[in-house]
Amino acid sequence: MGIKNDIKNSDIAKILHKIGFLVEIYESDHSNATFKARSYKRASDVIASLSSNIYEIYMKDGLDGLLQIPSVGKAIASKIEEFITTGKIHYFEKLKSKTSVNIDEFYNLEGIGISPKTIKVLHNNLGIKDLSELQNALLEGRLRNIPGFTRRKEETILKKIQLFKKGIGRYLLGDVYPLVKQIESRLSNIDGVTKAIAAGSFRRMKETIGDIDYIVSSDNPEKVMDYFVTMPEVEEILGKGQSKTFVRLNNGMDADLLVVPEESFGSALQYFTGSKEHGVAMRKIALAKHLHLNEWGVFDNYQNRIAGSTEEQVYQVLDLDWIPPEIRENAGEIELAIKGINGLPKLIQYDNLKGDLQVHSNSTDGTVSIEEMALTAKDKFGLEYIALTDHTKSLKLTKGLDEKQLLDQANRIEEINDKIRYGQEYTQQHIRNEQGSEASIQGNFRVLSAAEANIMKDGSLDISNNILDKLDLVGAAIHSSFTQPIEVQTERLVKAAQNPSVDIIFHPTGRLINKREGYCVNIGKLVEAAKDTDTVLEIDSYYDRLDLKDEYVRMAIQNNVRLVIDSDAHHPVHFAFLKFGIAQARRGWAEKSDVLNTLPVDTLLESLK
């Protein structure tokens, strides 16, 4: 039995995930099955995003090497070893042989909340074996006869499957962002490379990315392309030409590379940043000026290149102001960019936020203390304030705070702030950052007492106004009863906006990109209510939420509704998500003055309702 030498991390990640899925179906009688399933899935996640190659780790250090990988214990390490040395995992084959269910089609659905247990019930009751059988059963209304299922549930599952199919092949920006940037920086460090930029939808900071498009300027394309195809993340070379290369990465995503000479870098970048619609409109403008615009430059009728080395030049010779990539959608931006009109919005900048108004702590479902969140916000992300918005009591899953706990927490926050303000010796032993070193949060930083109050089915809140009014600010959000009719759902949010204690509506549509359609809301009506009541609407920067979406941001701004951009951080690293919220705001044409948390804390508090 020879060792398979082309084993990819993604193969291992997939099979471990499938084992986790099957364990949950077939060992659900054992008490530790859930735990076991979870450890397989955790290991799978870690391996999928590992930058070093597992096969190489094993060849170098054997089982010990595998055990160094986070979340990989003895049982899993030996299964990986078995897979590398035999190409199979006996345990997986055994689990699989117990069923005719098409595990390859189903295991992915777990990501959208269709659990292994549901699959098991459907298989036992209706003999459903694969995705198309499930879809047919749903369309024919056969699930509603099974105990525990309803017509409503049928509709939900069907919607989820449709959404899932639509999302196949597209990646969340936040999931791929670190990798794309890392490769970009490695490309720019190659000898002879003057510039390297990830263009396409990535540069436009779209919510989801189909593939990556790298544009590199170098006089030695061979060298760049040789590096590109041998990167550790490359799973397959799809094509290689004189200046273009296409590969598939081990996370399944395709990456294109175009290497151009320096005099064409700007025009290539402009072309491949897109959007296609923006590019088409630009070319029309060029033609009207008797010019030709393509990836190699802007040319006159005699084939003289009159622009091309920078993007600014390309726009300039077309008598246009340079347009930020986030709004290149041919949605009115080109008309406003015509020289002399000065009509482009002055988009909010990536360093404009001074605070973050939705932050969670381990008082509820966050992972660390208030102090640690504050320290990270201040020292690592340069913020001046955060609002501590733990969940409230009716959200039992998160151990939401009741009235007394909210007030206690507000008092604790006051103590922390007093110490900051008066600069007392505040070298608390209990404030330790992740490295374990001591630090203090002295200086110009403030924690605001706040809450993410839960909006009940009828639009009321689960905490009374006299308690909420003792906090610095209040956000309100829907976390349950997602599937009410649009009028009911809209009325619920409008009522929350009309509540005098509510300053902000958090994640106003509740969608999870590629996983869950938001609740049906008439956004126009919500925007109107927000305007009438001076309520702020939130852009939630968590990269699978990002509601409001771009067109709603634009609608809010046109109606003079004020916005905030929050991280919704449940862990210190989540503050990094703020850039996705800012990108979303930019794609919705938001300026700095449209976003309240660009203000210093005092002005911010004064301008809340």
Of the two residues 318 and 477, which places its CB atom closer to Zn ion in the complex? Answer: 477
Q: How far apart are CA 10 and CA 23, in angstroms?
A: 20
Site for Ca ion in 168-227 (CB under 5 A): 200-201, 211, 213
Task: Give the distance from CA 162 to its chain's centroid.
Answer: 20
Of the two residues 9 and 567, which places its CB atom closer to Zn ion in the complex? Answer: 567
Q: How far apart are CA 267 and CA 313, in angstroms?
A: 9
Q: Please, which residues have CB within 8 angstroms of residue 436's CB and are 6 or more apart in sequence?
A: none
The footprint of Ca ion on this chain (CB under 5 A) covers a number of residues equal to: 5
256 binds Ca ion (CB under 5 A): yes
Q: State the binding partner of 280 from ligand DGT, Zn ion, Ca ion, none, CB within 5 to 8 A by kind.
A: ligand DGT
Helix (H) or strand (E) holding 359: strand 355-359
Using the contact rule CB under 6 A, the part of the chain among 101-109, 127-135, 244-252, 268-276 near ligand DGT is 268-276
The residue length of the chain stands at 609
Q: State the binding partner of 365 from Ca ion, Zn ion, ligand DGT, none, CB within 5 to 8 A by kind.
A: Zn ion
Q: How far apart are CA 133 and CA 291, in angstroms?
A: 55
Question: Least CB distance from residue 279 to ligand DGT, whole Å?
Answer: 4
Among 274, 297, 308, 581, binds ligand DGT (CB under 6 A): 274
Q: State the binding partner of 279 from Zn ion, ligand DGT, Ca ion, none, CB within 5 to 8 A by kind.
A: ligand DGT
201 binds ligand DGT (CB under 6 A): yes
Strands 171-172 and 297-299: unpaired
400 binds Ca ion (CB under 5 A): no
Q: In this chain, which residue has its C-beta nearest to Zn ion?
A: 365
Catalog residues that contact Zn ion under the rule CB under 5 A. 360, 365
Of the two residues 275 and 364, which places its CB atom closer to ligand DGT in the complex? Answer: 275
Question: Least CB distance from residue 257 to ligand DGT, whole Å?
Answer: 12
Q: State the binding partner of 572 from Zn ion, Ca ion, ligand DGT, none, CB within 5 to 8 A by kind.
A: none
542 binds ligand DGT (CB under 6 A): no
Q: State the binding partner of 308 from Zn ion, ligand DGT, Ca ion, none, CB within 5 to 8 A by kind.
A: none
Of the two residues 121 and 258, which places its CB atom closer to ligand DGT in the complex? Answer: 258
Interface map 209-238 toward ligand DGT (x if CB under 6 A): xxx-x-------------------------
Q: How far apart are CA 476 and CA 526, in angstroms?
A: 13
Question: Least CB distance from residue 169 to ligand DGT, whole Å?
Answer: 9
Of the two residues 95 and 198, which places its CB atom closer to ligand DGT in the complex? Answer: 198
Q: Are 15 and 80 contacting, i.e. CB atoms less than 8 angstroms apart?
A: no
Question: Least CB distance from residue 164 to ligand DGT, whole Å?
Answer: 18
Q: Are 258 and 268 contacting, i.e. CB atoms less than 8 angstroms apart?
A: yes
284 binds ligand DGT (CB under 6 A): no
Question: Least CB distance from residue 253 to ligand DGT, whole Å?
Answer: 10
Distances (CA, A) of 295 to 160, 261, 302, 330, 544: 40, 11, 17, 18, 33
Q: State the binding partner of 275 from Zn ion, Ca ion, ligand DGT, none, CB within 5 to 8 A by kind.
A: ligand DGT
Site for ligand DGT in 126-185 (CB under 6 A): none
Question: Least CB distance from residue 162 to Ca ion, whole Å?
Answer: 24
Among 20, 116, 266, 279, binds ligand DGT (CB under 6 A): 279
Nearest to 18 by CA among 116, 162, 121: 116
Largest Cα–Cα distance in the chain? 78
Helix (H) or strand (E) holding 71: none
Q: Are 9 and 77 contacting, i.e. CB atoms less than 8 angstroms apart?
A: no
Q: How far apart are CA 419 and CA 95, in angstroms?
A: 58
155 binds Ca ion (CB under 5 A): no
Question: Least CB distance from residue 322 to ligand DGT, whole Å?
Answer: 17
Q: What letter would DSSP give residue 165?
A: H
Of the two residues 211 and 528, which places its CB atom closer to ligand DGT in the complex? Answer: 211
301 burial level (CB within 10 Å; 0-12, 13-18, 19+): exposed
Nearest to 106 by CA among 21, 19, 23, 13: 21
Type of residue found at 335: E
Distances (CA, A) of 54 to 84, 92, 228, 303, 587: 9, 19, 20, 52, 39
280 binds ligand DGT (CB under 6 A): yes
Q: How far apart are CA 439 and CA 371, in angstroms?
A: 10
For 192-211, give the secondary structure using H, E and C: CEEEEEECHHHHCCCCEECC
Residues in touch with Ca ion (CB under 5 A): 200-201, 211, 213, 256
Q: Which residues bind ligand DGT (CB under 6 A)?
A: 200-201, 209-211, 213, 271-272, 274-276, 279-280
